[in-house]
Amino acid sequence: MADNATAPRTVPFLGRLGRHHRVPVHALEEAGAEAGGRVIRLDMGPFRPYLVTHPDHVEHVLTVRQPNYVRAGMFWDPLAPLLGESILSDGENWADSRRILQPLFTARHVNAMAENMARIMDELIETTVVPGRPFDVTEGMGALVHPVIVRLFFGAKISMADIDRLAPAYDVAVTAKALRLVLPFVPHQVPLPGDRAFRRAIRTIDEVVYPCIARARHEEGDDVISRLVRARADDGGDRRIRDDLVAMHGASTETTSTAMSWVWPTLQAHPEIAAKVYEEVDRVVGDEPVGIAHLPHLRYLKMFVSELLRVYPPGWLLPRRTVEADVVGGVGVEAGSTVILSPYLTHRLPEFWDRPATFDPGRFAPGGDARRHRYAYWPFAAGPHVCLGQHLFALKAPLLIAGILRRYRPHVHLDRPIVPRLASTLRPPHGLTMTLEKR
Ligand code: HEM
């Protein structure tokens, strides 16, 4: 350990997980509150990850010393068969993918796709929503988010039938590993529930994606798959293209539909906030199809979405593995250990957030950013691995919410408190249903 470093405080965590087995997120919340912004170690028996929450320390790990904190170990290793050598890996493979993909997701490029996206979204809402019929909130949002992203990525190179096969396979792939996420020290040779479903889901994904790559080799296009095929004409082969497509697909659909699932229970829980959102959508959009021209005027909706990502950041847990020993916030961190970052916890630190438990879009009123630590709010991560999809999400979320609200009023069927569920993203509970009533 470096001379200037102190040993971290270790807090018992397995017992906490047991006590909160229904809502493991609460175990983490408790530990975060106990840490009070200091780097601590979570004692899970043989596995003792460091927990980093303070914005200065987040900056250190994600930006200042980023190459020392790689995507490996907890969470990443179990998902490796899904994500392969892609934009969601690290080191040279990651840098290579980032160089190819980044230009496709700049604000300029995304704006150019936006009108098309608005049209597809409006048609989907029109054709998929059955007024008055209850549906599962997460599935319903997936059904609106997933086809739009798939069309942007694959253009016309994928059939509707294949789109319908991809969505459930993805859902299984990211939720089946929930147990390994909380039991990361169980060796891979020891089967856990969910492992078989995970392998089956990967087979389905491969059966859909590889033929699309083959088609893209023979057809022109401006979609993500065509660009990947052109960029990797001479290197890497189909496997690397498949890895990037699968990683991009996972990074975009799951996070976006999870975020959209929180919209409805949150509006219902805060009628005064909902009234402001409804008033704004009525005033700005009226009964026209929502288009890009409306977006700059949906100011309160934008603030609402920012607050939604503060309270329910879909990418709630970012684990990294240290390459070399380091000192974070005065605490010595050993080489090869797991460091867990969580925007969910940073977004609740009372030192940086007034009334952190209160849902208040007003915090994101224009000018508010200037008073905040840059790393107090990071739903899209930060540093070299910062989310590529921020601009896409900033357009897509209001298009979807306003597109629904101009036609319908949501009613969520609540029979218990809404608490997050454990998956690789922060999801609403299983079986939460809602209806959309015609206005
Ligand atoms: C609410 C929506 C979204 C949230 C909260 C979100 C959040 C995040 C977070 C936290 C990371 C960092 C993960 C890590 O380093 O461990 C990330 C990375 C990434 N996101 Fe998003 N994301 C969202 C939507 C999207 C969309 C729509 C796309 C589609 C383009 C996308 C593409 C990516 C990619 C490619 C990366 C990896 C970047 C890299 O490592 O270089 N995301 N996202």
CATH number of the CATH domain containing 160: 1.10.630.10
Tens digits of per-residue pLDDT, 152-167?
888 888 888 888 888 8
Q: Does ligand 1 lie within 6 Å of residue 380's CB atom?
A: yes
pLDDT per residue over 63-94, tens digit each?
999 999 999 886 777 777 777 888 988 989 89
429 DSSP assignment: P
Centre of ligand 1 to C-alpha 380, Å, is 6
4 lies in some domain: no
**Coil, strand or helix: which one is 383?**
helix
Which residue minimizes the CA distance to atom 15 of ligand 1? 385
Q: pLDDT tens digits for 217-234?
A: 888 877 888 888 888 876
If you measure from the C-alpha of residue 106 to the centroid of ligand 1, how many angstroms do you get, rounded to a whole number?
Answer: 13
DSSP 20: T
For residue 364, the 8-state DSSP code is G
Choose among 320, 319, 323: nearest CA to 336: 323
Query: Looking at beta carbons, which pairs linking 381-387 to residues 24 or more positions away fall under 8 Å?
Result: 381/62, 381/315, 381/318, 381/343, 382/58, 382/59, 382/62, 382/63, 383/62, 383/63, 383/66, 384/63, 384/66, 384/98, 385/62, 385/66, 385/71, 385/94, 387/251, 387/315
Q: Please state the domain count of the chain.
A: 1
**Structure-block tokens of residue 313:** 């950041």
Written as six digits, the tokens of 418 are 């809404």
Q: What percent of the chain shows pLDDT beyond 90?
A: 52
Contact 301, 281 (CB under 8 A): yes
The pair of structure tokens assigned to 174 is: 């990211």
Instruction: Output the CA torsion sign for 428, 292, 124, 161.
Output: negative
Express each pLDDT in 247-270 by its tens digit: 888 888 888 999 999 999 999 999
Whether 393 is in the pocket of ligand 1, judged by its Cβ within 6 Å, is: yes
pLDDT band with cut points at 50, 70 and 90 for residue 417:
low
Q: Establish if 1 belongs to a structural domain.
A: no
Helices (H), 219-363: 224-231, 237-249, 255-269, 271-284, 299-311, 343-346
Q: Smallest Cα–Cα separation from 239: which of 81, 24, 37?
A: 81
Taking 80 as the threshold, does the pLDDT of residue 45 lie above it?
yes
Task: Tell me if 317 is assigned to some domain.
Answer: yes
Mean pLDDT, residues 205-210 = 91
The region that residue 428 occupies, defined by phi over 0 for left and psi between -120 and 50 for alpha, beta otherwise, is: beta
Residue 120 lies in a domain: yes
pLDDT at 305 over 90: yes
Domain of residue 254, residue span:
9-438
Residue 2 has pLDDT above 60, yes or no: no
* CB-based contact 260:145 (threshold 8 Å): yes
User: Measured from the CB, is residue 262 less than 6 Å from ligand 1?
Assistant: no
Is the residue at 29 inside a domain? yes
Query: Which residue bears the tokens 């608490």?
Result: 419
Q: Is residue 375 part of a domain?
A: yes
Ligand 1 proximity of 98 Cβ (cutoff 6 Å): yes
2 domain-assigned: no
Nearest to 30 by CA among 19, 314, 124, 22: 19
